Copies of this chain bind each other. A is one copy, B any other.
Amino acid sequence: MARVVVDVMPKPEILDPQGKAVTGALQRLGFDGLTVRQGKRFEIEVDGDVTEDRLEEIRKAADTLLANTVIESFTVREETVADQAANR
């Protein structure tokens, strides 16, 4: 089964209250010098092969459903077996 990963992040010019809260909490816990932005990660298991058409379809899905493109940007990429192994 092939896997595609869609990362959705708040655009740089958009305030990110969740990220701000996490940044503050880390500082209070003694983790200094870290600035956090928080987004979403979607792992999509694709039936069959990941063709360019299939990726285009997933980009469309991300654009309609997964990201609010007014305030968020997204990236779509196929995750290779090596990536999956590295993420164990």
Contact = CB atoms under 8 A, between A and B. Distances in A.
A29 interface: yes
A39 B36 contact: no
A34 B61 CA distance: 10
Q: How many copies does the complex hold?
A: 2
A58 B43 contact: no
Contacts of A31: 57-58, 60-61
Contacts of A39: 40-43
Interface in A11-53: 19, 22, 25-26, 29, 31-48
Interface of A: 7-9, 19, 22, 25-26, 29, 31-48, 57-58, 60-61, 64-66, 75, 77, 86-87
